[in-house]
């Protein structure tokens, strides 16, 4: 008999109608994350001397590209879920049902930030360092969307914070007994991201950062978190080159990228603080 657990929301909570529109809780969580990230990043950009409002240039480019590449990455690593006899190919574009890979969003978002920086002639390292905390905050908030969709859970557990998943949920593992509790990976990742915010803030206050180091720490921290979470994740449809889930490969690449950023920038700049952006930038 269960004495404690984390309940999943009623399926009716996943969406609601406003007139002819259907509003999905998953989308609201993503939008809330984007809003919080925008506010945090704007403040950090201003503190680095970047003109007011540049964050909206980032949003205009990074958000659409992040969404598109995130969906592409998810579909690419879950080909069997979308391409099979009788499949509805329009499901490839159903981002409101979940399936927007964060690693894909990082790739698309990075391209968008680079474009925005090129247009306004603002150093890329200043922009991404300012964004590091906002990314972690947005990802923490966005993970609530996985709770509403009853997805992103791990292996069965008897721990008191085990997650209840409805046997009727699309992601409920076949052959698993109803009432089984699972590791709440969405919650683990939320907490991991919040701890990451604290670590970056601590490093920025006690050490010399700048020059892209904050985003380097972000990549290392996020890659480490996703590595151990993916190791206990239930996601049988995910591609697994050499028997290793694709997201673990990507996590390793993120960790390596973060280490390279820190090592290269340490050799180039040492303890030299990065000067604030002070130039008057015009659109190129």
> Please, which residues have CB within 8 angstroms of residue 90's CB and are 6 or more apart in sequence?
none
Residue 143 is assigned to a ligand binding site: yes
Q: What are the structure tokens assigned to 52, written together?
A: 């007011």
Q: What are the structure tokens assigned to 64, written together?
A: 């659409």
Asked if residues 214 and 207 have their Cβ atoms less than 8 Å apart, the reply is no
Residue appearing with tokens 């190129």: 284
Asked if residues 105 and 155 have their Cβ atoms less than 8 Å apart, the reply is no
Query: Distance between CA atoms of 218 and 204, rounded to whole angstroms?
Result: 12
Query: Distance between CA atoms of 103 and 66, rounded to whole angstroms?
Result: 9
Q: Which of 215, 35, 232 is nearest to 130 (CA)?
A: 215
Summarize the annotated binding site as residue ranges. Answer: 143
């Amino acid at each position: 008999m269960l004495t404690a657990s984390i309940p999943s929301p009623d399926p009716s909570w996943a969406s609601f109608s406003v007139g002819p529109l259907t509003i999905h809780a998953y989308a609201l969580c993503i939008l809330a994350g984007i809003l919080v990230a925008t506010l945090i990043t704007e403040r950090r950009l201003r503190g680095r001397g970047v003109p007011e409002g540049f964050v909206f240039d980032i949003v205009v480019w990074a958000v659409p590209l992040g969404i598109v590449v995130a969906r592409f990455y998810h579909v690419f690593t879950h080909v069997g879920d979308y391409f099979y006899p009788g499949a509805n190919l329009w499901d490839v574009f159903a981002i409101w049902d979940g399936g927007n890979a964060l690693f894909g969003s990082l790739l698309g978002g990075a391209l968008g930030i680079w474009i925005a920086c090129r247009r306004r002639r603002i150093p890329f390292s200043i922009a991404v360092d300012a964004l590091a905390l906002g990314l972690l905050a947005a990802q923490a908030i966005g993970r609530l969307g996985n709770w509403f969709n009853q997805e992103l859970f791990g292996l069965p557990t008897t721990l008191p914070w085990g997650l209840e998943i409805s046997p009727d949920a699309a992601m409920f593992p076949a052959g698993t007994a109803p009432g089984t509790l699972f590791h709440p990976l969405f919650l683990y990742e939320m907490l991991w991201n919040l701890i990451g915010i604290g670590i970056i803030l601590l490093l920025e206050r006690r050490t010399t950062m700048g020059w892209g180091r904050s985003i380097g720490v972000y990549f290392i921290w996020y890659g480490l978190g996703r590595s151990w979470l993916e190791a206990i994740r239930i996601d049988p449809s995910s591609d697994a080159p050499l028997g290793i889930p694709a997201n673990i490969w990507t996590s390793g690449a993120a960790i390596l990228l973060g280490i390279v950023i820190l090592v290269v920038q340490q050799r180039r700049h040492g303890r030299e603080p990065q000067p604030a952006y002070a130039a008057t930038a015009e659109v190129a």
